[in-house]
Amino acid sequence: MIAELFAQATEALQFSFIQRALLAGSLIAVSCALLGVFLVLRRFSMIGDGLGHVSFGAIGLSLMLGLHPVYASIPVVLLGSLWIMRLAGRSGVQGDAAIGLTSAMGVATGMMLAGIGGGFNVDLFSYLFGNILVISATEVWLSLVLTVVVLLAVVLFYHDLFVIAFEEESAQVLGVAAERVNTLLVLCTALTVVLSIRIVGILLVSSLIIMPGVAALRVASGFRSTLLLAVVFSLFSVWIGILVSYLLDLPTGATIVFVNFFFFLGALLVGRLGERG
């Protein structure tokens, strides 16, 4: 049985659509994991869910107008991320409330546009639940560019991101431009969310950002090791999820999330055993 599954997995790797899915999924997994750690520590992790719902409205509009959903969603979701920041920072609205308000309007807009355009269609549902196996070569290149941008941002602003994550109140004293760094973080997150939608879908996109970071924080001993372990969890979740979904004919996005959750449960168990020891 195991030998047969291994043979099928090896055969699957020969297909170009599987290769594109693994490559794009790996690139997005790295971005989600790195950004997720900072967002979890900032208690802003649900912004992925909010921006995913914003993209629902943008995708509904693009499908109604015959535009490419990914390209149309990028500027809308970027503006949505800035709106959430402004609402949470200058309007006296709590961060989770700002995300909730924006999320609700995103869903309402998408539903309204779907109704005007004649109802939900197959394309819209593929973005709701993800379909990484039909990802295009262009989206692979976009994923590569995004990952490079996120890696450069983390490397160049590592100290600032670290301070913001743990001591935002002291950031000004330490010479950190908190607002600028937060803006960079949410803009990178917005781009990541748009491209992650193809992998796990709008309804599950926040899990790809939250779970690897939360799991890594449970077992890692230092901050750099947390980032590295989050990337490892995220990569293996995507690799295993894609192959298992292909072999067992399961929804790819949901399978990736389940694998991610199993990693989280394992990290939770290891963390508790470590506390007892």
**Span 24-67, pLDDT tens digits:** 888 889 999 999 898 888 877 778 778 888 887 787 777 777 77
Spatial separation of the C-alpha atoms in residues 167 and 212, rounded to whole Å: 22
Place of tokens 């004919």: 249
Look at residues 107, 110, 43, 54 and name the one whose alpha carbon lies nearest to residue 81: 54
Spatial separation of the C-alpha atoms in residues 208 and 185, rounded to whole Å: 16
Domain 2-269 belongs to what topology? Answer: ABC transporter involved in vitamin B12 uptake, BtuC (1.10.3470)
Read off the tokens for 201: 């879908």
Band (200; pLDDT cuts 50, 70, 90): confident
Spatial separation of the C-alpha atoms in residues 11 and 232, rounded to whole Å: 24
CB distance 205 to 197 below 8 Å: yes
Which is more confident, 136 or 35? 35
- Least confident segment among 15-19, 91-95, 132-136, 209-213: 91-95
Q: Over the chain, what is the mean pLDDT?
A: 80
pTM of the model: 0.85
